[in-house]
Amino acid sequence: MSIQPEDEEFLHDMVIQLDETIKKLVTEEREVAQKLGDVRVTELKEFWQQALSEDDEKFFRASLDYWDKTLIRVWAYLARAHDTRVKVGHTLMKLNSKLKS
């Protein structure tokens, strides 16, 4: 499998963009978590990790405010960005190993 130079450049640019996105999201996560406080962040982590009972989750959902939803959104974006970054990294490693063979 050969890769065109422009495709490899695209993948490298994508890595750079993803790294920048992750940095921005981590900063936003830190800022929102500060506004919410440690106790609320812990509760939100339990909700995010689906560690609540069905009844508790229904009650908890009803209590979510703007900043709670913002933090959950940031976590979702971070998870997606990390997953994409891993996939792009694996693709580049596979391509590099095939080029050396």
> pLDDT by residue (tens digit) across 24-82?
999 999 999 999 999 999 999 999 999 999 999 999 999 999 999 999 999 999 999 99
Dist. CA 60–CA 93, nearest whole Å: 43
Number of helical H runs and strand E runs in the chain: 4, 0
Please compute the mean of the pLDDT values over residues 8-16 and round it to a whole number.
92
pTM for this one? 0.86
| pLDDT value at 13 more than 60 | yes
Dist. CA 48–CA 71, nearest whole Å: 10
| pLDDT value at 3 more than 80 | no
Give the pLDDT confidence score for residue 99 in this predicted structure. Answer: 65
Dist. CA 50–CA 58, nearest whole Å: 12
Give the pLDDT confidence score for residue 64 in this predicted structure. Answer: 97
The domain ranges of the chain are 15-53+61-100
Dist. CA 46–CA 49, nearest whole Å: 5
Please compute the mean of the pLDDT values over residues 6-15 and round it to a whole number.
90
If one compares 2 and 82, the residue with the highest pLDDT of the two is 82
